[in-house]
Amino acid sequence: MRWRTVFLVGVLLLALAAAIGWRRIHFQADVGAGYVAKEVCGCIFVAGRSFAGCRADVPPVMDRVQAEVTKDPPGVSAFVALFARRTATYDPRTGCTLD
């Protein structure tokens, strides 16, 4: 009976730690995806550079954030798989803005 209680308490503590960890990772992934989307969007659509050149300007710490150019509407979508996705949309009057 005692081992069962210890096991259940351990499982509950592990679940709590996982929930707190997921929330923190989700927040950081959301910020990172937003940064990459806005940075690459401005570089491509405002500065007129290539995707490869713009992506190379993003710091290596952001390598886990994937990015792709969107056509309709024009912009850049960046994401961290399973955690976050942000899109920066280009408008000729205002530049790139995060959705």
Closest C-alpha to 80, from 70, 69, 68, 65: 65
Give the count of domains, the chain. 1
Q: Where in the sequence is the domain holding 27, given as residue range(s)?
A: 2-98
Model pLDDT, residue 34: 97
pTM, full prediction: 0.81
pLDDT digits 0-9 by tens, 59-69:
999 999 999 99
Distances (CA, A) of 75 to 8, 40, 41, 61, 98: 48, 9, 6, 22, 9
